[in-house]
A = this chain, B = another copy of it.
Amino acid sequence: MQAGKPILYSYFRSSCSWRVRIALALKGIDYETIPVNLIKDQGQQFSEEFQALNPMKQVPALKIDGITISQSLAIIEFLEETRPTPRLLPKDPKKRAQVRMISDTIASGIQPLQNLSVLKQVGQENQLAWAQKVIHTGFNALEQILRNTAGKYCVGDEVSMADLCLVPQVANAERFKVDLTPYPTISRINKTLLALEAFQVSHPCRQPDTPPELRA
Contact = CB atoms under 8 A, between A and B. Distances in A.
Interface stretch (A2-10, A97-105, A173-181, A203-211): A97-105
Contacts of A98: 67, 69
Given A56-B138, A105-B56, A141-B57, A97 B74 contact: yes
Contacts of A69: 97-98, 101
Contact of A100 (B73, B121, B138): B73
A144 to B, nearest CB: 4
A104 B71 contact: yes
Query: Which secondary structure dominates where chain A touches chain B?
Result: helix
Copies of this chain present: 2
A108 B105 contact: no
A96 interface: yes
Given A113-B112, A118-B113, A121-B130, A97 B67 contact: yes
A100 B71 contact: yes
Contacts of A78: 93-94, 96-97, 100
A97 B65 CA distance: 12
B108 A96 contact: no
**Interface residue tally of chain A, by bracket?**
35 or more
Given A71-B104, A108-B108, A77 B55 contact: no
Interface of A: 54-58, 65-67, 69-75, 77-78, 81-82, 93-94, 96-98, 100-101, 103-105, 107-109, 111-113, 118, 121, 130, 133, 138, 140-142, 144-145
30 contacts: A55-B140, A55-B142, A55-B144, A56-B138, A57-B141, A67-B97, A67-B98, A69-B98, A69-B101, A70-B105, A71-B100, A71-B101, A71-B109, A73-B104, A74-B101, A74-B103, A74-B104, A75-B97, A77-B96, A77-B100, A78-B93, A78-B94, A78-B97, A81-B93, A104-B108, A107-B108, A108-B108, A108-B111, A113-B113, A121-B130
